[in-house]
Amino acid sequence: MDWSDFARWGARISDWAKTYHETIRTRPVRAQVAPGEILAALPETPPQHGGAMEDVFADFEKTVMPGITHWQHPRFFAYFPANATPPSMLADYLATVIAPQCMLWQTSPAATEMETRMIDWLRQSIGLPDAFSGVIQDSASSATLAAVLTMRERTLNWSGNTEGLTGQARLRVYSSIEVHTSIDRAIWVSGIGQDNLVRIPTQGPTRSMDPVALDEAIAADIAAGFLPAGIIASTGGTGTGGSDDINAVCDVAEKYGLFVHVDAAWAGAAMICPEFRDMWAGVDRADSVVFNPHKWLGMQFDCSAHFLRTPEDLVRTLAIQPEFLKTHGKDGVINYSEWSVPLGRRFRALKIWFVLRVYGLEGLQTMIRNHVVWSGELCETIRTTPDYEIITEPVLSLFTFRYAPSGVEDLDDLNQRLVSAVNDDGRTYITQTRTDGKLVIRFQVGQVDVTREDVTEAFAVIQEIAASL
């Protein structure tokens, strides 16, 4: 492909993208294919000779698109949003065209210095104090792993990377069951081990860690010869939005000198609205905080904001400086590859810059406030609808409910069949979770183009399909 062809196809794909988004409501939200169907449509061997781009694009539409679940669909109410706004897409396109490796200051000074400024714009936007600085990670999973590695090294007096964990006291990390499973994976990868992730009971409607039980668990571990390393708190847990009392967690952490990481992957975006910040009161006392602009702020995956009170500890944990990675003759520069597990880094700051400049905080605040209001309205509608019950109250724009007609013995089976039937229907997309032993339906409003009508129509579809089961 020469550059003339590139320009022509770039324009054609841009037009295709416009049509795709303008007509996306006509598509089923979840892919309507059987397992293995796309694989069977792809040749088993690579092509020996090049072909026409026209044929490649035709096969893209014929083979790929039927197997796509449309995360940008306005009636996507499953999981959490993974929004891609037009300015973010254009910024990522530019970053792809330039294709810089942003691992060091010298390999792209603009990318490094824009990252420094953009992470500070985000810090200001969510109300964190200026004691925090940060880095753009690829995902909250990577940020959490970096935080766990840091708490491990700090607790072991920086000997874990050199000596390994063999012969060391067994480290312990504490969280509730409400945290994301990425915490479990970080515990595995860090070498701490699943058996040393201590689950603390929750209490109250916010499903927050019981601080008394947390204190008792830490004291018992110390008495048993274990070595407590840190606490991972949740703001807006995956299943039902469970949120810890950060002040209470930090009180216990300070008593024992433990590192605190706050996982606010989804809910942290809502903190651009000051009225929601009570939800994570005390976050300014944490050591590490993460949220994902690629979820609710429309800054396109992958883009995770990781804030740190003492970034020197993170750098001490992760930095490796062979001669070829040193920046000579430049003092005071930041090399963000020393702040993250991967060496290679994409130009992620560009899409933050584009989105914030195009929409401004006011535009993003209005979007999030609408989503919270519309979710609350639907919750109240379901609450007064016969045969339905609210299980967990709204946390921002997330709540859970279930279909519970009288005389049905196995409501778990009924609700799972309802979720499957709704998703097979294609007009909307929902997911299930399990709460207090019950299988329930999650509903979360967060797609950037969703309207109040999309939200109400989703429940109309659920009622229609439920009545047919």
pLDDT digits (tens, 9 = 90+) for 87-100: 999 999 999 998 88
Whole-angstrom Cα Rg for the chain: 24
What pLDDT, on the 0 to 100 scale, is given for residue 251?
97
The answer on pLDDT for 165 being more than 50 is: yes
Q: From CA 347, how far away is CA 98, in angstroms rounded?
A: 9
pTM of this prediction? 0.90
Q: From CA 77, how far away is CA 35, in angstroms rounded?
A: 23
Per-residue pLDDT band at 102 (split at 50, 70, 90) = confident
* Range name among 6-20, 72-86, 127-141, 329-343 with the lowest pLDDT average: 329-343
The answer on pLDDT for 175 being more than 60 is: yes
Q: From CA 68, how far away is CA 24, in angstroms rounded?
A: 12
Task: Tell me the fold of 363-468.
Answer: Aspartate Aminotransferase, domain 1 (3.90.1150)
Instruction: Please state, as a whole number, how many other Cβ atoms lie within 10 Å of the Cβ of residue 220.
Output: 12
What are the beta bridge partners of residue 234? 263
User: Does residue 395 sit in helix, strand or coil?
Assistant: strand
What pLDDT, on the 0 to 100 scale, is given for residue 238?
85
- % residues pLDDT > 90 (the chain): 78
Per-residue pLDDT band at 330 (split at 50, 70, 90) = very low
The answer on pLDDT for 257 being more than 70 is: yes
* Range name among 103-107, 319-323, 356-360 with the lowest pLDDT average: 319-323
Token pair for 391: 């299980």
The answer on pLDDT for 323 being more than 70 is: no
HSE value, Cβ hemisphere, 13 Å, CA-based, for 11: 5
30 Cβ contact partners less than 8 Å away, ≥ 6 residues apart: 69, 70, 423, 424, 426, 429
- The 171-176 sheet, strands edge to edge: 133-137, 304-308, 288-291, 259-263, 227-234, 171-176, 197-200
- Between these two residues, 281 and 108, which has the higher pLDDT value? 281
Average confidence (pLDDT) over 251-274: 96
Per-residue pLDDT band at 348 (split at 50, 70, 90) = very high
Report how far apart, in Å, the C-alpha atoms of 13 and of each of 24, 63, 97 are: 16, 17, 15
What pLDDT, on the 0 to 100 scale, is given for residue 321?
65
CATH class of 93-355: alpha beta
Average confidence (pLDDT) over 105-112: 86
What pLDDT, on the 0 to 100 scale, is given for residue 322?
53
The answer on pLDDT for 324 being more than 90 is: no
* Block residue for tokens 């492909």: 1
313 Cβ contact partners less than 8 Å away, ≥ 6 residues apart: 150, 153, 154, 287
> Are β-strands 438-444 and 398-403 bridged in parallel, bridged antiparallel, or unpaired?
antiparallel
What are the beta bridge partners of residue 429? 76
The answer on pLDDT for 460 being more than 80 is: yes
The answer on pLDDT for 390 being more than 80 is: yes
Is omega for the bond preceding 245 within 30 degrees of 0, making it cis?
no
The answer on pLDDT for 293 being more than 80 is: yes
The answer on pLDDT for 327 being more than 60 is: no
What pLDDT, on the 0 to 100 scale, is given for residue 104?
83
- Between these two residues, 342 and 416, which has the higher pLDDT value? 416
- % residues pLDDT > 70 (the chain): 97
Instruction: Please state, as a whole number, how many other Cβ atoms lie within 10 Å of the Cβ of residue 385.
Output: 13
The answer on pLDDT for 81 being more than 50 is: yes
What pLDDT, on the 0 to 100 scale, is given for residue 60?
95
What pLDDT, on the 0 to 100 scale, is given for residue 329?
42
What pLDDT, on the 0 to 100 scale, is given for residue 342?
80
Where are the chain's structural domains? 93-355, 363-468
Q: What is the mean pLDDT of the chain?
A: 92
Average confidence (pLDDT) over 252-259: 96
The answer on pLDDT for 328 being more than 70 is: no
Token pair for 56: 């490649």
> Are β-strands 304-308 and 288-291 bridged in parallel, bridged antiparallel, or unpaired?
antiparallel
What pLDDT, on the 0 to 100 scale, is given for residue 331?
57
80 Cβ contact partners less than 8 Å away, ≥ 6 residues apart: 238, 265, 266, 295, 296, 398, 444, 446
The phi, psi pair for 199, rounded to 5°, reads -85, 125
234 Cβ contact partners less than 8 Å away, ≥ 6 residues apart: 175, 176, 178, 179, 180, 242, 243, 244, 262, 263, 264
Report the candidate in 379, 349, 353 with the shortest Cα–Cα distance to residue 441: 379
